[in-house]
Amino acid sequence: MAHQLKISELLQFAPFKQARLICGEEGLSNPVRGVNVIEAPDVTDWVQPGDVLLTNFYSLDRLRPLDAFIEKVAARKLSALIVKTGLFVQEVPEEIVEAARRHRLPVIEIPRSVLYRTIVLCISEHLLSERLGVLERFKEISDHFLSASLANQGAFRILKSLETFIGNPVGLYDEKLQCLAGTTGSSVSLVPPEGHHEDAPYYVQTIVTPEADDRICNRYVFSVRVGDEVRLYLTVLELHGALEDVQSIAIESAINALALDFLRQQAVIEVEKQFRFDLIGDLLGGSALPSSELHRRAGLIQWDLRRKHAVAVLGLKAPPKSSDEGKNLERLSQLLTGVIDNAHAQIRGGHIVLFWPAGEGREWRTQFQRRFAELSALWSRTEERATLRAGIGEVAADVEGLPRSYSQALDALNIGIRARFEKNLVFFHELGIYRMLCRLAPQHELREMVPPALQRLVAVRTRARADLVETLEAYIACNGNALETSRRLDVHPKTVLYRLDKIRSEAGIDLDDAEEMLMVQIGLKILKMEDVAAA
């Protein structure tokens, strides 16, 4: 931190050996930032904060009332009044002294033998030396942060350097005001003041600091812009002292270094994203590259392809006329990264493709179901009306089996929707006969495969007929066991027998003909798919 010349130190300079401090001892710590020699009546209009004013009161009469004159220069934050006596006044007027005492303004008397030029040169040389010191400090700080940026030391090292330079705690927050790094005061959330404009370079909060015995401090919040957008927020807590002008050099340099580091990180992310996109394309498309090369490339992004994987495909079933599929998938992808650490996933072809590490047995399926449930719960809390669904293929033993697992995952997702599976997560092995039906023919042609007897049964849409259809489905599921069917439907066994007789008489279905019952079972599944298409 650069040294600031004070009035007490000024009195030690050679031109002030014969000077006498008349009053204003309380102001001896005032800073000296400039020197003025003005004898005009409008002197108060020219005084700058931190100035010392030299005068011989040549225009004394035109400065009256003198107490008002002192009040004006004190309001302008004059650091000291230096009066040369022996020319136009023999001593400092008592009105000046009394008024200066009230405002704690130092008044210094010098003899007529001391030249203004000597005092001005002495102060100017010292101030110039101070400015040179500030410039050298500026270069040192700028070079330090520039070197940190070029050396890719990261945001944390930049923050530690800044904290060392300014002597106060600092913190870093992302654009969503979440703390990324910080020390004292970081537990207090950022709350922009009412009326704060985003284009403002900073704002100030007064906070209670739990980490420092609940001390009340000012916290400066600086915007870190990358291009035209604010991407980070740098905070500085005035815990060990108020910020000084010279410290703004370090803060500005740190902001520039953080912006450069953020830009570099984004570039790395984009390169990695493209690299991952190409790699996943090779894995799913059956690349001509040898498996050793695919393993090597995956290793560059810490992905161990030696493990077995199952490919999952996540999709969103949106209402008709929905046009936000792309944005919804981006939101879903962000939620996915929060649920699954280091997820190897990518938006591809209107879906999110996810590679799920799989082991032996069923444990991997249970783990995936648990994570999918978490993701579904998070998605349901969003305002989007699209339904989250997923299909997952069988485990691929090696990279050559991943394209097949991907194809199976797509089938599980799409056929699960078409066949009206009640659950939103479908494993490929659960598709059963639906997989064959969906591949066999278009929906309108499948209708021709429904046995006429079954068509007669469902043609009449009444509650009684719906009960007959439900009983028929349960009877088939229970392998023709009427007692088990009654338990499944929670009705009396005689009710089941009565309904089975009605099915025989009204629809003409022979429940004892195994071939006919197979066709009826297939027909029921086709009708279920037809209901989905109609819906």
Tokens 């950022």 sit at which residue? 190
Q: DSSP class of residue 33?
A: -
What is the structure's pLDDT at 535? 36
DSSP state letter for 349: T
State residue 2's pLDDT score. 53
pLDDT of residue 389: 92
Pick the residue with more confidence: 2 or 423?
Answer: 423
Respond yes or no on whether the N-terminal peptide bond of residue 65 is cis (omega within 30° of 0). yes
- Please give the Cα distance from 262 to 275 (Å, whole number): 20
Give me the residue label for tokens 């004059």: 78
Categorize the per-residue pLDDT at 263 as very low, low, confident or very high, splitting at 50, 70 and 90.
Answer: confident
What average pLDDT does this structure show over 161-179? 86
For residues 346 and 301, give the distance between their C-alpha atoms in angstroms, rounded to a whole number.
14
**Closest of 473, 469, 480 to residue 506, by C-alpha:** 469
Q: What is the pLDDT of residue 100?
A: 95
What distance in Å separates the CA atoms of residue 176 and residue 38, rounded to the nearest whole number?
A: 54
Neighbour tally for 412: CB within 10 Å: 27
Please give the structure tokens belonging to residue 518.
């197979």
Q: Does residue 16 surpass a pLDDT of 90?
A: yes
d(CA 179, CA 177): 6
- Band the pLDDT of 257: cuts 50, 70, 90: confident
Torsion sign across C-alpha atoms 160, 175, 338, 274: negative
Range in 58-62, 163-167, 303-307, 320-324 the model is least confident about: 320-324
**Structure confidence by residue, pLDDT tens digits, 92-108:** 999 999 999 999 999 99
Q: Which pLDDT score is estimated for 52?
A: 95
Global model pTM greater than 0.85 = no
Q: Please state which of the ranges 40-54, 57-71, 492-506, 516-530 shows the lowest mean pLDDT.
A: 516-530
Measuring CA to CA, which residue among 13, 7, 5, 38 is closest to residue 108? 7
Residue 114's pLDDT is 92
At 101, list the tokens.
């005492």
Identify the pLDDT of residue 1. Answer: 46
Backbone angles phi, psi at 428, to 5 degrees: -55, -40
d(CA 455, CA 465): 12
* DSSP alpha helix (H) spans, 76-208: 94-102, 116-150, 154-166
Q: What is the mean pLDDT of residues 155-166?
A: 83
* In the chain, % of residues over pLDDT 90: 29
Task: Say which range, 19-33, 70-84, 434-448, has the weakest mean pLDDT.
Answer: 434-448
Return all residues near 188 (Cβ < 8 A) that are at least 6 apart: 205, 207, 208, 209, 210, 219
Instruction: Decide if 526 contacts 434 (C-beta within 8 A).
Output: no
- What are the tens digits of pLDDT across the range 106-138? 999 999 999 999 999 999 998 888 777 767 766
pLDDT at residue 386 in the model: 82
For residue 170, what are the β-bridge partners?
236
Each residue's pLDDT tens digit, 491-504? 999 999 999 998 89
Question: What is the C-alpha R_g of the chain?
Answer: 41
**Residues 187, 214 contacting (CB under 8 angstroms):** no
Which of 25 and 140 is assigned the larger pLDDT? 25
Nearest to 218 by CA among 190, 237, 245: 237
Check whether 448 has a pLDDT greater than 80.
Answer: no
Residue identified by tokens 């999709």 is 315
Residue 178 pLDDT: 85
Tens digit of pLDDT for each residue in 297-355? 888 888 888 889 999 999 988 765 555 777 888 888 888 888 887 788 888 888 999 99
Mean of all residue pLDDT scores within the chain: 84
- What's the mean pLDDT in 58-87? 89
Residues 6+ apart with CB under 8 A from 136: none
Orientation of helix 463-477 relative to helix 482-489, angle to 10°: 120
Mean pLDDT of 155-175: 85
Contact 120, 35 (CB under 8 A): yes
